Amino acid sequence: MGRTPHRRIGVMGGTFDPIHHGHLVTAEEAWKQFRLDLVLFIPSGHPPHKEDRRNLDPESRYLMTVIATADNPHFQVSRIEIDRPGPSYTIDTVRELHRIYGKEAQIFFITGADAILEILTWKEPEKVLQECTFIAATRPGYDLRRLEESLPEAERLRRATEPRVLIMEIPALAISSTDIRRRVREGRSIRYLVPEGVREFIEKNGFYR
Ligand code: ATP
Ligand code: MG
pLDDT tops 50 at residue 1? no
CA-based nearest residue to 90, from 159, 166, 151, 14:
14
Domain contains 1: no
Pocket (CB within 6 angstroms of ligand 1): 14-17, 22-23, 26, 111-112, 114-115, 137, 139, 170, 173, 175-178
Residue at 112 is within a domain:
yes
pLDDT tens digit sequence for 176-192:
999 999 999 999 999 99
**Total structural domains within the chain:** 1
Residue 19: name the closest of 171, 170, 202, 142 by CA. Answer: 202
> Which pLDDT value is given to residue 177?
97
What secondary structure does DSSP assign to 57-90, as a single string? PHHHHHHHHHHHHTT-TTEEE--TTTSSSSB--H
Question: What would the pLDDT profile of 92-135 be if each residue is shown by its tens digit?
Answer: 899 999 999 999 999 999 988 777 767 656 777 777 878 889 89
Instruction: Write phi, then psi, for 168 (nearest 5 degrees).
Output: -130, 130
Are 60 and 23 contacting, i.e. CB atoms less than 8 angstroms apart?
no
Give the separation between CA 91 and CA 193, rounded to whole angstroms.
31
Is the residue at 146 inside a domain?
yes
Residues 6+ apart with CB under 8 A from 197: 67, 68, 70
CATH number of the CATH domain containing 46: 3.40.50.620
Average pLDDT rounded to a whole number, residues 165-174? 81
Q: Is 2 inside any structural domain?
A: no
- Is residue 48 within 8 A of residue 88, CB to CB? The reply is yes
**In this predicted structure, what is the pLDDT of residue 174?**
85
Which pLDDT tens digit goes with each residue over 20-79? 999 999 999 999 999 999 999 999 997 555 555 678 999 999 999 999 999 999 999 999
Between the CA of 14 and the centroid of ligand 1 the distance, in Å, is 7
Q: Where residue 6 falls among pLDDT bands split at 50, 70, 90?
A: low
| End-to-end CA, the chain | 53
Q: Is residue 176 part of a domain?
A: yes
Question: Would residue 102 count as lying in a domain?
Answer: yes
Mutate to test the pocket of ligand 1, among 93, 176, 178, 208 (most ligand atoms within 8 A of CB): 176
**Which protein residue's CA is at the shortest distance from atom 18 of ligand 1?**
111
Residue 117 lies in a domain: yes
**Host domain of residue 151:** 8-205
Nearest CA residue ID for atom 8, ligand 1: 177
